[in-house]
Amino acid sequence: MRQFSKLRLKTFYSVTLMIFVLGIAKAQMPDTDIFMVQLGAKNRTGHTTPKNLTQRAGYDNQPAFSADGKHVLFTSIHEDGQADLYSIDLKSFITKQLCATVESEYSPTLAPNGKGISVVCVEKDSTQRLWLFDSQCKNPKVIFSDFDSVGYHCWVDSSTVACFVLTEPSTLQLKSVKKVPLVIATNVGRCIRMKPNSKLLTYVDKSDSTWVIKSYDQHSGITATLASTPKGSEDYAWTQYGQLYMGYGSKLMKLDPAKSQVWEEVADFSASLESLGRIAISPAGTTLILVGKAKK
C-alpha cells in the first residue's frame, strides 16, 4: 500500500512537471524579450527608453546579472524547443550560448562565493532538480540528488537554498545538504529573493486575494509582512538600499517599504511594452533588466 501511494505521488509530480514545462513553452515562448533600462539617466524621467536586447520570436526570460554586472544570463528557447542558458554582453550587446545540453535549464542563478551557476534542470524523465555548473557552464553536477520538483530557487547562504516546489498548492522550502527540507510557506509566488544587506529571505504570499511580500528569518523563524504588491504582480527586485521595483502592466513601480506602503509609478513603458514580468538589478544599481512583451 505504501509503495502504491508513492507511485501515485510520483505520477502526479511527473504530470505536474510536464504541464509546467509545456505551459511555459506554449504560453510564453512566442513573445517574451529582455529589455535594458538605465537608471539615473541625465534626463527629466531618470531612466532611458527600454532597449530590446533579444528582439526575436521565442522565449527569452529569467534574467540574472553576472557578478561584475557586465553580462546578463538568461534562459532561451529556440525552434527545437530546447531551453538553454545564454549570455548578453551589455557593452557589445552580443549574445552567446553558454550551455548546450540534452536537458533543459531554467532560472540561472549565481552560486555563492563565485562557485558557478545553479539552474533548475528538467531531466529526461521530467524530474526537476537543482544542478550546478562552473562559470563556463561546464562540469555539471546535481546539488541535491534526493530533492526534486523544484520550480525556482534562491541561495540563502553557501549551503542552503530556498526553493519554490511544485506541490499543490506550491510551497517554499529550505533545503541544505543532508537535511530534511523545511516548509516555511504555502501558496507562494515564483519570485524568491534575499533582501540585500540582511539575512532575510523574501517571497510573495498569494494565499489571499491581496498578494503580499513577506520576509523570513531562518535563524529566528520569524515571518513578517513587508508590503502588498500591485494587483496581479508577483515579480520584484531589491536595490542595495532596500527599495523594491515591480512591474504593473506596462508601468514600472517603486516602493521603499521602510518609509511607505504606497507604490510610486516611476515610468510608463506602454509605448514599447505591453507588459512587464521579471526584473533584475545590476550590482551597481544603475541598470534594470526587464522581461516584457514587446508592443507590436
* CATH code, domain with 39: 2.120.10.30
pLDDT at 10: 42
Q: Tens of pLDDT along 101-113?
A: 999 999 999 999 8
pLDDT at 4: 36
Q: Tens of pLDDT along 38-94?
A: 987 666 567 899 999 999 999 999 999 999 999 999 999 988 889 999 999 999 999
pLDDT at 34: 98
* Spans in the chain with pLDDT lower than 70: 1-30, 41-45
Residue 18 near residue 123 (C-beta atoms within 8 A): no
pTM of the model: 0.88
Report the domain count for the chain: 1
**129/144 Cα distance (integer angstroms):** 7
**Domain range holding 157?**
2-294
pLDDT at 22: 39
pLDDT at 7: 38
